[in-house]
Amino acid sequence: MPKVSIIMPCLNVVKFLKQCIDSVINQTLIDIEILIIDAGSTDGTLEILSEYQKKDSRIRLLHSAKKSYGYQVNQGISIAAGEYIGIVETDDFVQADMFDVLYAKALETKADYVKGISEAFCQGKNGVEWKYLIIPCKELMHQLEYCARPKDSPNLFLYDNFIWNGIYRKEFIQNIKLSETPGAAFQDIGALFQIISKADKGVYIKHLVYHYRQDNLDASSYNKKGLLYAAAEYKYIELYLDKLSEEWKKVYFLKMSGLSVDRFYFMARSGEFWTESKDGILELHQKIQKAVNQKIVSKDDCESWQNGLWEKLIIFLKNPNELYELLKCIYIKKWKRLKEISNILQQHKAYIFGAGRLGQFLHVYLQFQGIGNIIAFCDNNEQLQGMNLQGIPVISLEEAVNQVSEIYYIIATRSSKNRREMYEQLICIGVPKEQIELYDIEEDLQLLTMSDKMRLQR
């Protein structure tokens, strides 16, 4: 019996497949079973899979009768031989010790499941990457390990958003059934609800295990029927909701509210209202409106989970088209500001004044656009000075002024107080105001590829 069975649903991922499979077959845990379940790929994926199967006897290549992520995963679970079962999506890749670390912790704790942290990433054509960590529960922000009784912890459902960042005891996961709707959109939500609401013991560890790709424009996140699929998935969850407490019903509607608003962000980025999802939008709208009317979901609930969610939710309930137009305008504004800065830096060299998260995001955005005219970060924080970030140095403002004259300075900070102080610093040392630009737009991974996929009238 293998220690871990790894289920890999697959459909037309030739561009990313080798990196994914290599990361799985090269695990430090050798005793694994690899179940690759293809749903009828036509882009060369099957040829690659066949070659890997010939080289590694641990690989079993299976074929799915349906183009359904849920059906593929269910098929894999039904035949898995391992003590524990993991799932890897074939446009992502995993850390070399993922299953070694998770399996050891599972044996130690006898948990129904063990999960680690993940890293979302977006990669540009020149190899530049933007990354951020995905923490599956709040407790890992302050501790290395968290052991929970998930069935008594409904709030876990709000923060634990993925099934691929962990392993599951086979006897436990065999009682979980994913919905088998077409495609791959949101079929993990129902699985997560079942997993968390049924598990007696779940363990979360502060160890990086998984790399989640965000630059695959063919991913289900961009499907115009996404909200239709989301509505179907939440209807599926209702099969498991009735016997649960009011607190479980609250997190069910909260998560539905957050996902609905989040899909409107994706819709706004596309520049097109997704009429293909109109029936799903109506169904979600009606369910959320009822939950708000019955005070199952309140402003305090929304704001304690996601800052700003309530305001957007009220607009959605008033008129979904209005929310779409609002978010589209926000993205046009963001894109135009980045375009203005890009145009300046195609002709001038510059420093980014502020080496924090926002300054680093701006630098990566410029690199994604092929603009390399940033000389350095400059920052008032002495602990950062002398470091090298994203291939360029961090220097003091005094060093920047002494090195180059007639250069632009881009102040990058969300704090209006800091922005004002930094502007005054530059004026005081003699930088002309026409050579100072301000950038205060929050980092957003989707902005990195917006110009490639948005069809807005500029």
pLDDT of residue 453: 46
Alpha carbons within 13 angstroms on the beta-carbon side of residue 304 total 9
Return the bridge partners of 170, or none: none
pLDDT of residue 325: 96
User: What one-character-per-residue DSSP string does 259-328 give?
Assistant: HHHHHHHHHHHHTS--GGGHHHHHHHHHHHHHHHHTTSS-HHHHHHHSTTHHHHHHHHHH-HHHHHHHHH
Across the range 73-90, mean pLDDT stands at 97
Count of other CB atoms within 10 angstroms of residue 143: 10
Alpha-carbon distance of 137 to 204, in angstroms, equals: 8
**Residue 147 structure tokens:** 């052991």
In the chain, % of residues over pLDDT 90: 82
Across the range 182-189, mean pLDDT stands at 83
**Residue 132 structure tokens:** 């951020």
Count of other CB atoms within 10 angstroms of residue 11: 22
> Could you tell me the residue ranges of all domains in the chain?
4-217, 223-318, 337-448
Across the range 342-357, mean pLDDT stands at 94
| Predicted model pTM | 0.91
Alpha-carbon distance of 335 to 121, in angstroms, equals: 20
Q: How far is CA 173 from the centre of its chain?
A: 24
pLDDT of 104 higher than 50: yes
Q: What is the pLDDT of residues 421-445, one digit of tens each?
A: 999 999 999 999 999 999 998 888 7
Q: What is the pLDDT of residues 5-26, one digit of tens each?
A: 999 999 999 999 999 999 999 9
The CATH homologous superfamily of the domain defined by 337-448: NAD(P)-binding Rossmann-like Domain (3.40.50.720)
Q: Using alpha carbons only, what angle is made at residue 10 by residues 7 and 15, rounded to the nearest 5 degrees?
A: 125
Q: Which residue type occupies 201?
A: K
Across the range 395-417, mean pLDDT stands at 89
Alpha-carbon distance of 137 to 210, in angstroms, equals: 15
Categorize the per-residue pLDDT at 458 as very low, low, confident or very high, splitting at 50, 70 and 90: very low
Q: What is the DSSP letter of 49?
A: H
- Beta strand extents in 355-435 (DSSP E only): 374-378, 388-389, 392-395, 408-412
Q: Which residue type occupies 234?
A: Y
Ranges 262-271, 281-290, 353-362, 432-441: which has the least confidence: 262-271
Alpha-carbon distance of 39 to 363, in angstroms, equals: 39
Q: What is the pLDDT of residues 115-135, one digit of tens each?
A: 999 999 988 777 788 899 999
pLDDT of residue 414: 92
Ranges 64-68, 110-114, 161-165, 286-290: which has the least confidence: 64-68
pLDDT of residue 214: 86
Q: What is the pLDDT of residues 217-265, one digit of tens each?
A: 656 666 889 899 999 999 999 999 988 999 999 999 999 999 999 999 9
**Residue 374 structure tokens:** 């940033």
pLDDT of 457 higher than 70: no
pLDDT of residue 456: 45
Return the bridge partners of 59, or none: 34
pLDDT of residue 206: 97
Categorize the per-residue pLDDT at 271 as very low, low, confident or very high, splitting at 50, 70 and 90: confident
Q: How far is CA 336 from the centre of its chain?
A: 24
**Thinking of the domain 4-217, which architecture would CATH place it in?**
Alpha-Beta Complex (3.90)
pLDDT of 455 higher than 70: no
- Beta strand extents in 170-282 (DSSP E only): 202-213
**Residue 253 structure tokens:** 């509607």
pLDDT of residue 438: 96
Which residues neighbour 362 within 8 Å (Cβ) at sequence distance 6 or greater? 341, 352, 410, 412, 439
Q: What is the DSSP letter of 237?
A: H
Alpha-carbon distance of 419 to 316, in angstroms, equals: 33
Mean pLDDT of the chain: 93
- Which one has a higher pLDDT value, 113 or 335? 113
pLDDT of residue 217: 60
Which residues neighbour 50 within 8 Å (Cβ) at sequence distance 6 or greater? 61
The answer to whether the beta carbons of residues 288 and 298 sit under 8 Å apart is: no
